[in-house]
Chain A
């Protein structure tokens, strides 16, 4: 034992030597001395007692400049989702860097150290998220496989357990569950990451058998929704065994199953594989009662089901599989929205089912989702999702907020046009749009903002985004010689007639400086705030641009959103409800501006902010060109001043250098 201590003691001294060199080096020469430090750290991590030694040293290493020049120097912007993969990297230096960073954050979280860029609570929250996202890997460390393959995987498990020992695991489960509920409240179409996290929880609960508590209850609710939502499948018997069970159930039993599934689905937005299996079973047996029951339909939905029963059964037959369980949710919401009563939709969906996809499209869909079901079925399931929950469209990790927003608002507002585009792109791998009368054919254009076609999004996005992105870029190119902000012309042409024709921009494009900012804010209040605009509601979703800021209220980038409505929440506060194509709308924009996604009157998929906070981050919106109206109430100057101050304390702080470029994503 003393020998081990002596060993780590010796390496600690070596660390002191290289760390001192790092500390003394000027900022421009730091990187030269980072590698030796990391090399020693990496060796220490593998030694008994090494984690604790690095934990002790980490704040000093941070201060000496170990993270200088890398993303890790800004712990406030690090993403917990990436940590697990980084710790698995083949590059030992990267592993050492991530480990040292986590241990430094642990020191900050436990109050042993401070950091100018991150607060103890934030550090703690970050580590909790990291643990939550990697639950599996550190419980699994006891498995045979892990014991056999010691090495870095072993380090990751030891490191995570070391952190868990210091900050407690109960917290982790709570954070994870809260995080999942927060995301599910937004009803995203892409729920792969959520399912992954729930699977982690299921494994953790199973292994650890954690102490009872509210965290455990919340966790079990999620796990059950996915793996055993009804009495018939509570024991997670496997899909084959479950379908076998169904054949022996009586009518009452089947009905109980149907309502159980529907309740779990509408409660969480998650659809269990068993649910998909059950719905197919019900559809095949032509049971008039079970299908609407299993979809959990209300009055409108029931009505659509009665009118379009054949079509719905056909949709289930083709799109609902255990590969695509979420299509059940999409279908239920589609029926509930009543869009089938809109004349072109039913024939368009019929046509969709008869569509033979272009080879290139099939390839792309296969690349994104694998090939166990046909690309046609995959796309149809995606169509049901987008029509059922248009605000669930997310851009994935692609700079294509414009295209994602377009798909979402068409799904909401112009579903037959969306189906028209899907059919065009599906059959011919191109779309034809017009810009001021000039035809634009996407197949003739080079790639747009997204270098490659995105494959980490929903099927409709996988199909359409490469085309939309190119068309959008081409419209930008056509506008370039005109000067000013191109969205003035692009937005109406790109989205549709319902985009208001006038466009207000807070920034002078040529200089990047604010331009008549007070006038801009006043006009926004006069156009959108019901107390000042004569109580006129937003009729169609309106594209708008926000200056996204980080948690420190620093400017991050321009981002495309859509304003859906302005209304009071349950406390009487006026809020703007909007759609953000970003995958998770709940963001901290700094300066007290935290985007809410539930609990303040939001419908699923909506984000919201108090009106003045929203206005403080807005830089572009559309409005109808109207002569001075009588019904406008004057906007008090102090309101305008308040909003302008919030903007100047955040994104507009240094307006004077950055030129406005095309809105990309953040």
Chain B
């Protein structure tokens, strides 16, 4: 931490993310990493300020962590993972003397509460329900399809099943038939059930300070779970004003003074914006990396500014660029899944390798020949990165990757 400015705030990073630590270590503020004890040796060896903490269960000890951080002089805690969001809420409630923050964090952690709160705030959401067992899922699947006036034997419209406290696509299943329901393991309950919305799905990353959006990025999904790029196409960006208004509604509904949110939306064919869910932490799929590639600023450093109570508006204005206009190009990535049942070799398809938009990949060499069947959206085997001028070309290129074999 060579550039630390003691006038500025002191932040705690909750959770272990080397990318985040690296970015914050290069930034101008004092920081400390709060992570499980197994990280201690590594931190000592690399001069990373560290406090050991076990995040497994939120209990009466949360106050102890808050007190420790307060004694240490920390101004604010930043959650890096879904699992540390409520810890950050609990800690910040103490550090910032604002008990409301804990309740707010609980809303972010429970997908059902989150949806109801959004609904109460006047935000349009799809039909949803909570499920505690498989019977609930079957009932919801039937009711949704009855509502759509489907007859027996017509193919069902799918519903979405999301485990309450899992992030991103983990625990996200698309359910069409009672057999799909049978395949859901017990540990994924309770869960949130949602009707399927046909439309255009996208995500937003918003850095917020003083209840004001400091920077808002729109990440366009080409195919959910496979590919995303930033900034979005002009066709989606033309809705920026409406989307901004939606984010402002979220800020009101969830009472967000500061921080970073990552909501997902649907734009349906009848031109309605539906709210999907929102997370109070960095997105998966390396979206921050894509934003950095396109705009040149580091998203984690942006989060430090958004959280730090000592950050000034001038600092924020100087840090964030102008959306879309300041982007050097469009950056996207594609999550690769093996398409064959048995694979032995990683080989980037020539179409991909020779495409001028292709930059590099982080694909793992196949360790096992047999590919386990994907259940939920599951984990990809690595990402391939693309960058280029033309968002439409990039979108089509990302789409085309779905038909290619990276593993033979």
Report A's interface with B, CB cutoff 8 A. 10, 14, 17-18, 24-29, 32, 35-36, 39-40, 43, 91
Contacts and interface: CB of A to CB of B under 8 A. Distances in A.
A14 B331 CA distance: 12
Contacts of B42: 28
B19 A29 contact: yes
Contacts, number: 42
Contacts of A91: 365
B18 A28 contact: yes
A4 to B, nearest CB: 12
B18 A14 contact: no
A32 B18 contact: yes
A36 B46 CA distance: 23
Contacts of A27: 46
Given A14-B359, A17-B387, 18 more contacts: A24-B26, A26-B22, A26-B26, A26-B46, A27-B46, A28-B18, A28-B22, A28-B42, A28-B46, A29-B19, A35-B362, A36-B362, A36-B385, A39-B360, A39-B361, A40-B359, A40-B360, A43-B360
Task: Name the residue among B22, B42, B293, B361 with the largest chain A CB count within 10 angstroms.
Answer: B22
B48 A28 contact: yes
Task: Name the residue among B19, B25, B360, B361 with the largest chain A CB count within 10 angstroms.
Answer: B360
Contact of A18 (B18, B19, B46, B360): B360
A91 B26 CA distance: 32
Contact of A32 (B22, B385, B387): B22
Contacts of A43: 353, 360
B32 to A, nearest CB: 15
Interface in B7-65: 18-19, 21-22, 25-26, 42, 46, 48
B22 A36 contact: no
Given A14-B360, A39-B360, A39-B362, A32 B19 contact: yes
Interface of B: 18-19, 21-22, 25-26, 42, 46, 48, 293, 353, 356, 359-362, 365, 385, 387
A18 B361 CA distance: 11
Contacts of B46: 26-28
Contact of B25 (A26, A32, A36, A40): A26
Please list the 5 inter-chain residue pairs (A to B) with the smallest Cβ-Cβ separation, ordered nearest first: A29-B22, A28-B46, A39-B360, A36-B360, A14-B359
A63 B22 CA distance: 18
Contacts of A40: 359-360
A43 B21 CA distance: 30
Nearest to A36: B360
A39 B42 CA distance: 26
A173 B18 CA distance: 48
Contacts of A32: 18-19, 22
A91 B25 CA distance: 32
A308 to B, nearest CB: 61
A24 B362 CA distance: 19
A10 to B, nearest CB: 6
A82 to B, nearest CB: 21
Nearest to A10: B356
B362 A25 contact: no
Contacts of B26: 24, 26
Q: Chain A binding site: helix, strand, loop or mixed by DSSP?
A: helix
B348 to A, nearest CB: 8
Contacts of B19: 29, 32
A25 B22 contact: yes
Contacts of B48: 28
A35 B359 CA distance: 13
B22 A17 contact: no
Nearest to A93: B365
A24 B353 CA distance: 26
Nearest to B347: A92
A421 to B, nearest CB: 46
28 contacts: A10-B356, A14-B359, A14-B360, A17-B359, A18-B359, A18-B360, A24-B26, A26-B21, A26-B22, A26-B26, A26-B46, A27-B46, A28-B18, A28-B21, A28-B22, A28-B42, A28-B46, A29-B18, A29-B19, A29-B21, A29-B22, A32-B18, A32-B19, A32-B22, A36-B385, A39-B361, A40-B359, A43-B353
Contacts of A18: 359-360
A17 B18 contact: no
A10 B42 CA distance: 37
Nearest to A46: B353
B406 to A, nearest CB: 13
Contacts of A35: 362
A29 to B, nearest CB: 3
Contacts of A14: 359-360, 387
A40 B384 CA distance: 12
A150 to B, nearest CB: 14
A40 B361 CA distance: 9
A82 B385 CA distance: 33
B387 to A, nearest CB: 8
Contacts of A26: 21-22, 25-26, 46
A156 to B, nearest CB: 19
Contacts of A10: 356
A237 B293 CA distance: 66
Contacts of B387: 14, 17
Nearest to A43: B353
Contacts of A28: 18, 21-22, 42, 46, 48
Contacts of B365: 91
A29 B293 CA distance: 18
Contacts of A29: 18-19, 21-22
Contacts of B360: 14, 18, 36, 39-40, 43
A51 B56 CA distance: 50
A17 B292 CA distance: 11
A25 to B, nearest CB: 5
Contacts of B21: 26, 28-29
Contacts of A17: 293, 359, 387
Nearest to B361: A39
A17 B388 CA distance: 13
A307 B33 CA distance: 82
A401 B167 CA distance: 56
Task: Name the residue among A14, A18, A26, A36 with the largest chain B CB count within 10 angstroms.
Answer: A26
B407 to A, nearest CB: 14
Nearest to A38: B360
A24 B22 CA distance: 9
Nearest to A14: B359
B17 to A, nearest CB: 10
A35 B293 CA distance: 17
A469 B278 CA distance: 65
A25 B298 CA distance: 12
Nearest to A32: B18
Contacts of B353: 43
A36 B361 CA distance: 7
A49 to B, nearest CB: 15
Nearest to B47: A28
Nearest to A91: B365
A39 B359 CA distance: 9
Task: Name the residue among A18, A28, A32, A91 with the largest chain B CB count within 10 angstroms.
Answer: A28
Contacts of B22: 25-26, 28-29, 32
Contacts of B385: 36
A169 to B, nearest CB: 34
Nearest to B348: A43
A17 B329 CA distance: 13
Contacts of B359: 14, 17-18, 40
A40 B348 CA distance: 12
Nearest to A29: B22
Nearest to A24: B26
A629 to B, nearest CB: 54
A233 B355 CA distance: 59
Contacts of B25: 26
A18 B356 CA distance: 16
Contacts of B362: 35-36, 39
Nearest to A6: B356
A324 to B, nearest CB: 42
